Amino acid sequence: MNRRNFINLSLLTSAASLLPFNSFSFLNTAEISTEELLGKGSPNLYGSGYQLRKEAHKAFLKMQKAAQADGIAIQIVSSYRSFEHQKNIWNDKFKRFTYQGLSSVEAIHKIIEYSTIPGTSRHHWGTDIDIIDANPKAPASLLQPKNYYNQGVYTPLREWMDENARKFDFHLVYTKNENRKGFKHEPWHFSYAPLSIPYLEKYRKLDLKKVFQEETDICGSQNFSEVFIQNYVTENVLDINPSLLS
């Protein structure tokens, strides 16, 4: 980074650090509808080749510009996903795994290593992103932990995000913590905290059992027992980076 870019970025992040975190909150939970939480709403989204809520989009562009000055070309490969989009991902994986011989229960547990049950994805909120570095040649499979560690093609991106993401209020969601349960470590998945924290706060008040009962076309949903749902919420929804919990 040249001296001018460094000074500009330092001034930006220093000013942000003087403000209390709550001053960055753009909405209160009363403004969030159940439909939005489940990916069934019609939010106003921004971006070219990706979709984010306005405030998250603005913050991302600032972060992307700062990274570019350091030779990192942050590219979003997944952002907002509707309920229907997530359902298609889920059902495709369920059918593939059961075709390969897994039982319904085994397929469900295989899927939730990395993928969420429709209606429970943070990507429904327009606050979360999956990212790569557009500069190096892309590997055959993008979102693999090996690409972000041990000289993998996206190791410089991960290192830059480790150092700088929080300056723009983006936080890693599924951290590399051996004691963390739920979804496996995703070094590519970041969340814009000023919006996603109030979304999660309201999301925790939903009756997910009722939500799933009303969705009869989610493959394997008959196996979503009350105990399974409780464990899923505790481990997959809530066992995340503590900085993203209210």
* Residue ranges covered by each domain of the chain: 3-7+26-244
Residue with tokens 């996603």: 196
Q: Which residue has the tokens 């997959």?
A: 236
Q: What is the pTM of this model?
A: 0.87
Tell me the per-residue pLDDT of 127-172, one tens digit each, with 9 for 90 and over.
999 999 999 999 999 999 999 999 999 999 999 999 999 999 999 9
First to last CA, the chain: 35
Look at the domain 3-7+26-244 and name its fold. Muramoyl-pentapeptide Carboxypeptidase; domain 2 (3.30.1380)
Q: Which pLDDT score is estimated for 216?
A: 86
Strand partners, 52: 46
Check residue 27 and give its pLDDT: 59
The token pair at 137 is 């040649």
Tens digits of residue pLDDT in 202-236? 999 999 999 998 888 999 999 999 999 999 999 99
Residue that wins the pLDDT comparison between 2 and 72? 72
pLDDT of residue 28: 61
Residue 36: per-residue pLDDT: 95
Say what the pLDDT of residue 181 is.
Answer: 95
Summarize pLDDT for 73-128 with one digit per residue, the tens: 999 999 999 999 999 999 999 999 999 999 999 999 999 999 999 999 999 999 99
**Which one-letter DSSP state was computed for residue 183?**
S
pLDDT tens-digit readout, 5-56: 433 444 334 333 333 344 445 556 778 999 999 999 999 999 999 999 999 9
Q: Which two tokens stand for residue 79?
A: 């952002």
Q: What is the mean pLDDT of residues 44-69?
A: 97
Nearest Cα neighbor of 5 from 71, 56, 74, 75 is 71
Average pLDDT over residues 228-246: 95
Q: Give me the residues paired with residue 191 across strands.
A: 128, 171
Structure-token match 């330092």, residue found: 10
How is 106-148 classified by DSSP, letter by letter? Answer: HHHHHHTTT-PPTT--GGGGT-EEEEEESSSPPPSSSS-GGGG
Closest C-alpha to 98, from 213, 216, 220:
220
Among residues 155, 177, 127, 157, which one has the least CA distance to residue 24? 127
Residue 56 · residue 76 · CB < 8 Å: no
pLDDT tier for residue 246 given thresholds of 50, 70 and 90: confident
